[in-house]
Structure 1
């Protein structure tokens, strides 16, 4: 692998533009393509603003150099020219990803590897007809990827093991935290864990046990504080005198009993409508973009703190 391989981004939305920053700040030349003119017009101003914020909090030292490494391309072929790695970040539907994968497949180099930002759709659903399908895999980030470093690597049944290894090494090199999933499963690891929490949160809200704000507070001012630097297994390992087995002996039965009280169900439409009203009272729709920018600023400061204290990549 070259020290700073040329990377291509296909899809310049929130996730794709975040990926551009990931690779550019690591020293890679980034070639990015999106067919939508409105999305293209927003890319470079957003990159400029975000790079300046990263420099302000000390996550990068030369914002100008990072921005200069990002090239907005007019065609897919131009973006893929010379690229060792492609990060596909198009809209998440099987037809859209199939179309994008086939187009990338036709234009990619003989050794190029392609990672998809799919957040839950396995690669086998949209790469089966690619002639180079052994070099396609899932590389699922968290949004925004330049501030939340974990990335799930999930091979399709036909993905070459060397492609997974190469991608893992690349993600390590550019400062991400790769999580290798051994085989396909809908939702992968992150969204299955997030889904379990969301399903219980919706059930508690639907049954009237607490407001959205209070349920959110149990995470933002409770569980989330620990989870920002340790996972669930380390958390329970430290929460019993003799560690994880002791915790299981003490509380495993309680968790099993709670799980048995639940059955899988769709999120109730009327409850979602009620939640929408409650959230819009707390945050007007016109203020959503500003709140996202605030979120990113807080994540940047948290990332800087973790880096300064040896808790980040």
Structure 2
């Protein structure tokens, strides 16, 4: 069976990564951006990602040219979506822009096409409420970059139908993503709420002079992250006490309750705290070198994912 046609709307970093992910899995992908030069750059980016993935052994025997050939550019939004059964939107994080784009998608897409947004911060209800086809609208929020990080949050609006949720989750699983099906929408979804809790405490520790930004990064990168790359927080504590998760809570619950009782004020995300963090980061990485560092991060992620693939038992 030929994989379903996919439309990708918005050709930035996330859009090009999605286009690669769908194309690698064999889907024909149509890509559109309101700026033609952005769409052209995204097509080149798909080839670049595929070339790096091939070098890391993550292209499943395909060539970069074969993957890139599955991605075609559309002259307009209507042409892009006319045959698609899944539409992945990646325009700017602006609710008015999302409303306008989703109104156009709802009018132009096939009646049974799933309309998914990659938004990180906007609730699906905020830009789909008035649409005739709102039951097929949802958020499919990736973790950047989705070409490498498999988790994707599937977030319904109050009116999203179960069929749309099922089909989106199946599509994502089919391209190698790990769908996280949320029961309802909530600000920040899951990943940003967890990341935000950690960032809040990291900011607080810097603001209170307990640790430097470098110390915080060392603690996560060289302390918690290696373990977290293998197991989630509940699995981690289950493995960290002889009697499992209940034993862990009995041992360390009092400590966490004391900590939690003192985490009642929001840290300053700006002002002197941000100045210290920015100064530390710019000393470690000049702003001009940020693109090179992003590429280095992605290539190290590729090596890590290739390792996990080799080490994961095949079912």
TM score, norm. by length of structure 1:
0.96
Counterpart Cα distance in 2 of 1:235 and 1:189: 18
Counterpart Cα distance in 2 of 1:122 and 1:312? 37
Q: Which segment drifts farther, 36-45 or 231-240?
A: 36-45
- 1:52 is matched with which residue? 51
Cα separation, 2, equivalents of 1:311 and 1:91: 39
User: In terms of mean alpha carbon deviation, does 256-265 or 32-41 score higher?
Assistant: 32-41
Task: Work out whether 1:292 is the aligned partner of 2:291.
Answer: no
Residue 192 of structure 1, CA deviation: 0.3
Displacement of 1:77 in angstroms is 1.0
What CA distance in whole angstroms lies between the structure 2 residues aligned with 1:222 and 1:312? 29
Return the offset for 1:274: 2.2
Instruction: Specify the alignment match of 1:27 in structure 2.
Output: 26
Q: CA RMSD in A?
A: 1.5
**Structure 2: stretches of 5+ with no match in the other structure:** none
**Shift of residue 312 of structure 1?**
9.7
Q: 2 CA distance for matches of 1:207 and 1:180?
A: 37
1:102 corresponds in structure 2 to 103
Partner of 1:40: 39
Deviation larger for 192-201 or 62-71 = 62-71
| Contact 2:31–2:39 (8 Å) recurs in 1 | no
Instruction: Quote the Cα distance in structure 1 between the aligned partners of 2:52 and 2:85.
Output: 29
Question: Does the 8 Å CA contact 1:229/1:311 hold for their aligned counterparts?
Answer: no
Secondary structure, counterpart of 2:8 in structure 1: strand
Counterpart in the other structure of 2:73: 72
Following superposition, the deviation at residue 214 of structure 1 comes to: 1.3
1:303–1:312 CA contact under 8 A, matched in 2: no
Greater shift, 181-190 or 266-275, is seen at 266-275
Q: Which residue of 2 aligns with 1:7?
A: 6
Shift of 1:236: 0.2
Note the 1:70-219 alignment, pairs <5 A: 70-219=71-220
Q: Which moved more, 1:151-160 or 1:276-285?
A: 276-285
Tell me the SS of whatever aligns to 1:143: coil
Counterpart check, 1:278 vs 2:277: no
Q: Which moved more, 1:2-11 or 1:185-194?
A: 2-11
In the TM superposition, residue 256 of structure 1 has moved relative to its aligned partner by 1.3
The match for 1:268 among 267, 270, 279 is 270
By how many angstroms is 1:273 displaced? 2.2
- Secondary structure, aligned partner of 1:260: helix
